[in-house]
Structure 1
Amino acid sequence: MSSSKTKKSFFNNPLLSSKIKSRSVKLFPEVALGYLVGPMFALVSNGIVNTYLFQYYDKVLGLKSSALLFETLLPIISSIVIIIGNLLIGKLINRKPTAAGKARPLILLGLPILAIALLILFLVPMNYDKNGNPLTPSIWSFLMIAVGYNLYYAFAYPFYFTPHSALVNLSTRDGSARSLLATASNGAVLAAAGLSGMVGPILVDIIGLLPREAGDGKEGVTAMEANSKWTILMVIMIALLVVGCLFEYYFTRERITEESFAIKANEDVKTNKEEKKTSMLEQIKICAHDKYWWLIILFFFFYQFGGQLKNSDASWYAQAFSNNGSDISLAGYISIAGSIPTALGMVVIWPLANRFGKSNCIKVGAIFAFLMGVAGFVVLLPDISSNAGLVSTVSIATFCLKALGTVPAMYISMALMSDVLDHQEALYGKRTDGFTMAVYGSIIVGLTGIANGIIVGLNGIKGFSYGDSVANNRVLNTALFSGAEGVCYLIIFFMFLFMNVEKFSKLDQKTILLNHKNAVVAEGGIWIEPEEKSKQEEKASMEASEEARIAELKAKCAKKGLDFDAEESKYQALKAKKEAEKEKKNNAKKMALEKKEAEKKAKFEALSDEEKAALKAKEEKKIEAQKQKDAKIQLEFEHQLEKAKALQI
């Protein structure tokens, strides 16, 4: 890519450059702010929308009584528009990268669009009677509902969510670091959903976001009064959105985009030859021929479908088991309790995935989630369903246990998808991030609306009232809330019996690195090994940090009348003390390791000759078995390479 073209980019402005300078992923600030805190703030508004938009349509706008068919079909038909919108966003990701990368700029550019869409969702013109009850919506009201829904789900939200989801894939090739980023990124999604699930019922109750009758010490709220309060809530959500998007933009870095397109100032290849883009059609062909791509995409379909049925039905489930048919507090309690195992799971799943493999962890979790989904039906037993305390206890217990099973799918699935994309790059020399993330975004966003449509439609058909149909409503919503997700995880378990892409990871990285090296040499460039490049960047970052520290100290001394040399001496003395303490700890660790090795060696020497020979034979057998396994994987990889070349994509 020519430097002249790069300089024209709006994102070449130093004010818009990433704050992450390290070549390697670090826990702070990149993981903490860029992948956890930032996305969590940005996604809280979406959690509120997903959970309460159809409650707003149903109870504040009165669509259930006046236009149930419209309310049911809107999300289902709109899924077509959502797919088109996500494909367009995917094509934007596939465009020529800027100095900020391919995905990160869209997060910043989509911010105002998403803010406007959030406001439009809850600015529906409605007429109410003298008692504050909604009248039949006008054509203008229906039009605004349809426009607002499609603007948000088909365009505005994908403008953020699709590039957000692509960042893990584009961040690094280090498998362990990628698993950490995926854990943090998915943790942010779950944290946002949990936060909205916990805060939502409280806000509904305190602010009066949904209509209710007076009682239990609470004032009544009419539909008209509730409608006026949603805009205020969205303004608060937009403030969180702005903070979250800025954090995510400034504290992330697309290292893979940088190496592929040589867009950084310290680029590997200084050449004017422009990198050829992988067209959307080429990406589709690659994905269509990749069984691992189909497995991971189908995984996300069932994962999202079951999860959205559960999340969207939570308030309906709570109402079905409440005494008055309108209390949704149980949904809040379940969400609060469920956040505990998912939070604990985020801490342990990363090391478990590194030890046992991502797909293996997902398989074990899936079968456990299925069993706990079946256990959720215990709440329908007469002795339990008639006791509100037992209903709450059983619902929370089975939900929390099932949440433990879903932890691997929640946190490490994105890292597994990154492995699939790397495998494609190794085989075809091309990446499919644009098309893959468009399909992924279509699934995640589209199924949210479809799940809501199914829930609204089924509850409407059943006649969500609290007379003779209460038992039917409880069976229906238990199936939607607990059973549906369990069935989806059973399907995932059987699919993942064939998901073994991780075994190619070392060969994939070796092949990709070799391809990059060959490309650099072919262009007459100077190849720098990744380890050396990392050292150079770390050194440059430390030097820049030291210059900034000195400048800050000089400014402080000038302002307060302090002696710079004296203050600098204090700093250097403190620094030397810290380095000495660090070296002392490192030496202690080194000595402990040496002691352990010595003990191991002494233990071996104490063995008899026969025991030593047996131990050596066992180790040699293990090494030979690993060599045979590696040779088999190598042969399979070469066969896949031949098939990929034969396709001529």
Structure 2
Amino acid sequence: MNQTKNGLWNSPLLRSQVTSEDVRPPEMLFGYLIGPFGALLASGIFTSQLQNYLTNVLKLDLGFLTTLQLLSTILIVAANLVVGQLIERTRTLAGKARPWILLSALTLSVASVLMFIVPFADRTARMVWIAIAYNAYYAVGFPIYNTANSTLVPVSTRNSKQRSTLASLTNIASLGVMGVGSMIFPTLVSMALKEDQHLWFVAMLGVAIFTALTILLQFRFTRERVTEESAGAEKAEKSSASLGEQVKAVTSEKSWWLAMLFYVAFQWGGAMKNGSMTFFCQWVLDNSFFNTASLGDAWGMSQSLLAVLGAIPMAVAAVFVVPLANKFGKRLTCLVGMAIGVAGGVIAGLGGSNIIPVAIGIALKCLGSSPACYLILAMLADVIDHIEYTRGIRTDGLTMSVYSALMVAATPVCNAIFSGILNASGYDQSADVALNTLGQSAAVNTAISVSYIWVETAAYALCAVLVFLWTVEKNLPAEQAAIVERKKGATQ
């Protein structure tokens, strides 16, 4: 997309409502909280319930699901890299990421409902439809939105404190949709949707409409101040470095590798936990704790309880994480958080099928994860500024496309691994959870427990080591000041 001289982006419908040079509350609320929440709502539901829907509602073969999710990862990664470069080369009066945010109001909302239409009864035709619909969401709709949305934080402002706030709000939105997916939706599934495909479609159609409306709201209430710095510069075209230059710049920077490896461990460990959570609540936990008439309803209550107890400390932490990071630094704040997360994981793992110690451990684990959740985008933005200082080029497109690829690939890859684990351990798809919550074999229950608790706990231990080695924020203020002076010289 090239900048044109017409008034397209200045029309009343497409003009940004943000005019202030500083980030103000309306931009924070609509652009970085409500907008991302609506856009990512389907993703939060998919993370928690898509595996359950495909396995227990559509009754798709576990081998097919494993193959689909692994092969789709290739398309997902490629799509994110392509979108990242398209964003890097987009120059409009609206910025380089915001036009793609606008496009995703259509692509993401449509893609989020396709897997729930399934107009075929034939088994083979149904699998073909699911394969197409699955990739329409994960390899088309989601990459367009998520790469553009991730890019907004580093190009929104150079003010590090304001950027930390925006990153925190964006990730609060992400955690909010995970809360809906793991707290509210499981209860809806266990008590209402059950295995009724039509009801699943109606629910997801409502989500798709909400997605489109909130993305439009986000587009109107965002602004790319860093992108605007290059406007009018005599060598503005140099602001878009070639892919080779970007790759060389990021791969030669240690802090970039540390941040990305940190994110892989953190996000993929979480994806394994989220994808196996429903199965853990159905088969491992002793759901007689709730003393309900139907054990088929109790697992949803167990999942909601664990999700609520995980969400509460994260919600409380949202108030303190940014002030703590501003005072002690992102590095130390995340390091302490990861240590708390490891301790919580050990407690949950030792709890076995007893929901009380498991819930306590999960709450601690979620509390410990909150700094990383809220600050990861700000950490990457700091790395991007550091690379701009040392290399003289922006790498928003490449960095955020890799970030987005890692995020979106986490769910299908980890679900594929989990499907393979279930298949290898002898998971019985015909077992009725309403009759016996402990109806799977000991091997299956162990595999589910490892997937839900211990994988993420080990990932947090690795994250603690990685963030300890990440020191880029130490000299960042001086580097940012030098960048601004350099750009002033280029425009004179």
TM bucket (normalised to shorter chain) is over 0.9
- 1:126 deviation in Å? 4.1
Q: Deviations over 1:56-81 (max 9, x none)?
A: 11112111xxx221111211111011
Q: Deviations over 1:521-556 (max 9, x none)?
A: 2xxxxxxxxxxxxxxxxxxxxxxxxxxxxxxxxxxx
Measured after TM superposition, the shift of residue 514 of structure 1 is: 1.7
Q: Tell me the amino acid that sits aligned with residue 191 of structure 1.
A: G
**Secondary structure of 1:110 counterpart:** helix
**1:355 partnered with 2:318:** no
Which of 140, 165, 183 does residue 125 from structure 2 map onto? 140
TM-aligned CA deviation for residue 272 of structure 1: 9.5
Distance in 1 separating the partners of 2:358 and 2:320: 25
Residue aligning to 1:454: 417
Mapping 1:59-208, distance limit 5 Å: 59-63=56-60, 67-127=61-121, 137-208=122-193
Question: Counterpart amino acid of 1:75?
Answer: Q
1:198-277 alignment, distance < 5 Å: 198-208=183-193, 210-211=194-195, 226-262=196-232, 274=237, 277=240
Q: CA deviation at 1:435?
A: 0.8
Report the structure number with the largest CA radius of gyration: 1
Which of 464, 481, 484 matches 2:455? 484
Kept in 2, the 8 Å contact 1:6–1:12? The answer is no
Cα distance in 1, alignment partners of residues 7 and 413 from structure 2? 39
- Residues 305-324 of structure 1: matches in 2 within 5 Å? 305-320=268-283, 321-322=285-286
Q: How many Å separate the matches in 2 of 1:174 and 1:368?
A: 29
Query: What is the match of residue 506 of structure 1?
Result: 477
One-letter amino acid of the structure 2 residue matched with residue 86 of structure 1? N
Judged with a 3 Å threshold, the aligned counterparts in structure 2 of structure 1 residues 273 and 514 are, in CA distance, closer, same or farther, namely: closer
Q: 1:369 to 1:227 in 2, by over 3 A?
A: same
Distance in 1 (CA, whole Å) between partners of 2:183 and 2:229 is 42
Paired with 2:419 and 2:325, the residues of 1 have a C-alpha distance of: 38
Alignment partners' CA distance in 1, 2:226 and 2:278: 42
Any stretches of 5+ residues in structure 2 without a counterpart?
288-294, 429-435
Q: Which of residues 328, 331, 350 in structure 2 aligns to 1:378?
A: 350
User: CA separation of 1:273/1:392 partners in 2, compared to 1, >3 Å: closer, same or farther?
Assistant: closer
Kindly indicate whether residue 369 of structure 2 is the aligned counterpart of residue 414 of structure 1: no
**Residues 25-75 of structure 1 deviation map (CA, whole Å, 9 limit, x = unaligned):** 12x101122111221122112111222222111112111xxx221111211
Whether contact under 8 Å (1:280, 1:434) holds in the other structure is no
Identity of aligned residues (%): 35
* 1:488-509 residue CA offsets vs partner (Å, 9 max, x unmatched): 0111111122100001212211
1:261·1:275 contact (CA, 8 Å) conserved in 2?
Answer: no
Range 167-176 or range 369-378, more displaced: 369-378
Q: Please tell me the residue identity of whatever aligns with 1:171.
A: S
Partner of 1:31: 28
Choose 40-49 or 457-466, whichever is displaced more.
457-466
Give, in angstroms, the shift of residue 206 of structure 1. Answer: 3.6
Give the secondary-structure state (helix, strand or coil) at the position aligned to 2:17.
Answer: coil
How far did residue 401 of structure 1 move?
0.8
Q: What amino acid maps onto 1:62 in structure 2?
A: K
- Alignment partner of 1:298 is 2:261: yes
Equivalent residue for 2:403? 440
RMSD over aligned Cα atoms: 1.9
Cα distance in 2 for residues equivalent to 1:171 and 1:272? 21
Residue-by-residue CA offset, 1:250-295 (whole Å, 9 max, x unaligned):
1111100011234xxxxxx5x6975552111211111111111111
Count of residues in Structure 1 that have an aligned counterpart in Structure 2: 474
Q: Tell me, yes or no, if structure 1 residue 341 matches structure 2 residue 335.
A: no
Contact 2:81 2:401 in 1 (8 A): yes
Aligned to 2:426: 463
Q: Which runs of 5+ in 1 are unaligned?
A: 128-136, 212-225, 263-268, 386-390, 522-649
Query: Alpha-carbon deviations, 1:397-444, whole Å to 9, x = none?
Result: 111111111111010111111110000011111010111111111100
TM norm structure 2:
0.92
Distance in structure 2 (CA, Å) of the matches to 1:468 and 1:73: 27
Q: 1:251 to 1:273 in 2, by over 3 A?
A: closer
Distance 1:55 1:468, change over 3 A: closer
- Contact 1:171–1:254 under 8 Å retained in 2: yes
- Greater RCO, 1 or 2 (C-alpha within 8 Å, sep 6+): 2
Q: Measured at CA, do residues 150 and 100 of structure 1 come closer, stay the same or move farther in structure 2, by a change above 3 Å?
A: same
Report the equivalent of 2:431.
none
